[in-house]
Amino acid sequence: MSGESAMPLRIGTRASALARAQAELVAAGLARASGRQVELVDVTTHGDTNRAPLSQIGGTGVFVSALRDELLDGKVDVAVHSLKDLPTAAPEGLTLAAVPERADSRDMLVASGAGTLAGLPSGARVGTGSPRRAAQLRAARPDLDVVDIRGNVDTRLGRVFGGPGVDPADLLDGVVLAKAGLDRLGRGDVGTEVLAPEVVLPAPGQGALAVECRADDVGTARLLAALDHEESRSAVTAERALLAELEAGCAAPVGALATVRGAGQLELQAAAFALDGTVSIRRTATGSSDGAAQLGRDLAAEMLAEGVAALMGEHV
């Protein structure tokens, strides 16, 4: 065995429970595919240390840039991200080597008393840190009090169920989180309603992971290719192409979901929202999986022609 192949592959990850769970999924797959030892390396990002709303601290990239810096500096060999957190611009010196099979892309309500969105009382307080979710919650239930929150999954769940350090005055009637994140943490059972895309359209790339390595690291890229899932990559390519064409980031009130419909065909749903939920532009298009990026760009152009930039205002 060569010295290089005997070295463990180092996977950079944020230190949160969810980020590590996601990195462990990639690590297990990579170990099986390569026969190499794999170790996780915790990296602290700007989004982990700054508790201000994401829209105030940069939104796109706040959970990504530090991991990419460690990768470019050779301190890790692989970086694992939630794909919805990735800026749409291709990073110099890095490559998206794998998009593993996507988990459930939908959002989930976690409400006290096993509540549903329709069943929440008027004036109920529902927490989310996402302008996209907030806008759609307000559209579906204008009578709700949508509260901006930050924190990891357990912190957010604590705002519903209480616990050490949670002021009773800060308790909420519910929070909305990505179903994939809850499932990966083994916490899917706390969800009280899976929100259909017709009610809350997911973020582009939600439920998918992004696995990056250095562009010149051909050996690692070859190993990671075994983890790539063609249908998942096509779907997120269409969603992210739309996001890029709209010049919107992960904090913008934009939802998109591409679904494989038959052999080699994609259906792309997309929507953009005013933050107060009163106005939206929602469109659907179909096209070839081979032309996923063009499908996203074409649908974005249609939405721009209908005034989506003005609708999203300062978030575009």
Structural tokens at position 209? 């992971």
| 6/152 Cα distance (integer angstroms) | 35
| 97/219 Cα distance (integer angstroms) | 11
User: For this structure, is 85 an active site residue?
Assistant: yes
Among residues 85, 107, 217, 298, the one annotated as catalytic is: 85
| 275/35 Cα distance (integer angstroms) | 48
Nearest to 241 by CA among 89, 107, 14, 118: 89
Neighbours of 305 (CB within 10 A): 8
Dihedral of the CA atoms 62, 66, 72, 73 (nearest 10)? 160
Check if the beta carbon of residue 227 is closer than 8 Å to that of residue 108. no
| 293/311 Cα distance (integer angstroms) | 23
180-to-111, 290, 297 alpha-carbon distances in Å: 17, 26, 26
Please enumerate in sequence order all residues whose Cβ is within 8 A of that of 205, keeping only pairs 6 or more positions apart, or say none: 82, 83, 84, 86, 236, 239, 240
Check if the beta carbon of residue 235 is closer than 8 Å to that of residue 290. no
Residue ranges of alpha helices (H) inside 51-115 are 54-57, 65-72
Sole residue written with tokens 């010295």:
3
Report which DSSP code applies to 144. Answer: S
Please enumerate in sequence order all residues whose Cβ is within 8 A of that of 161, keeping only pairs 6 or more positions apart, or say none: 112, 190
Sole residue written with tokens 């999924």:
25
Q: Please count the CA atoms within 13 angstroms of the CA of 175 that sit on its side-chain side.
A: 27
Residues noted as catalytic:
85
